[in-house]
Amino acid sequence: MRRVLARVVRRVYTRITAGYHTAVVDTYPTAPQPQPEQSPLARARRAAGPVAVGAAALGKYALPLIKLAKFGPTIVSMVISVALMATIFGAPYGIGLIALIAIHESGHLLFARHEGIRTGLPIFLGPFGAVIGLKQPPKDVRQEAVIAIGGPVVGTMGAIVALILSGAAPAGTYTHNLLLALAYVGFLINLFNLVPFSPLDGGRVASALSPWVNLVGLGVILLLIAGPVATGHSFNPFLLFILVIGGISTLQRFKRRGANPEYERIPGRTRMWIAVAYVAMLAITAVAMTETHAALLSAQVASTIQ
């Protein structure tokens, strides 16, 4: 009887605790068991797993950061330039001025891309504008002139947009006067860049016509320096920088003319169209700047009367 009762108890216990043993007891941590020694190939395979995970993480997170780093100099120089210009002229005008400079530089970038020339991103120089470096030299003076005139073309379009927006704003308001002032300085920047003297855009365009045109630009820069000095006013020191760099650039251009005459050998028809585009941009920016300046004076008179 006792044996029969013990057998029944064991069967009931086994059925009740079967799941418990499987789910809990059998999975309870035990002392580590000695592992058989692995071959070097097996150890290499085990180490490859974390390496693969690390490589995947690098590709997912680090590479985009590396790509973003290419924009670093542009972003940093733009932020510094905006802060500097905002300190000098106030935030709205300073930001608008940097925007006009960025639009001008984008013209060089767009025209260079159209010509198949790779470029760097612009580096902003505060009140001195910005620069874009070419990653490969132009093949001839035509290509150099096209890339150079792209800045004034697109930059002038940006100034025209500011002028149109100023007309849409109510006359006499801060917004109207701000946009009018930005349009004026936009035309001024692009007209100044058309002076036929390297490293200005006009020097690169006019050199497609003849390197001797740079001497005309040299005279313009000298007048811009000598005029204020003769009248007892201060001149922009940036003009001295342009004078020195332009003189060196002009000498190098004449030397290259003898060493590489093929660079300046373009069809006469092409040279004519470059001249037409150059003169047209000079006329557009000069007239637009004059008219905008007159509108600014009228706005000042109206605000004084009110």
Q: What is the mean pLDDT of residues 8-23?
A: 39
- Going by C-alpha positions, the residue among 208, 204, 185 that lies closest to residue 194 is 204
Position 127, amino acid: P
pLDDT digits over 240-259, tens only? Answer: 888 888 888 888 888 877 77
Q: Give the mean pLDDT of the chain.
A: 78
Which of residues 39 and 249 earns the better pLDDT score? 249
What pLDDT sits at residue 29?
38
pLDDT digits over 216-245, tens only? Answer: 888 888 898 888 888 888 877 888 888 888
pLDDT digits over 116-161, tens only? Answer: 988 888 888 777 778 888 888 888 899 999 999 999 999 999 999 9
Q: Answer whether 0.85 is exceeded by the pTM.
A: no
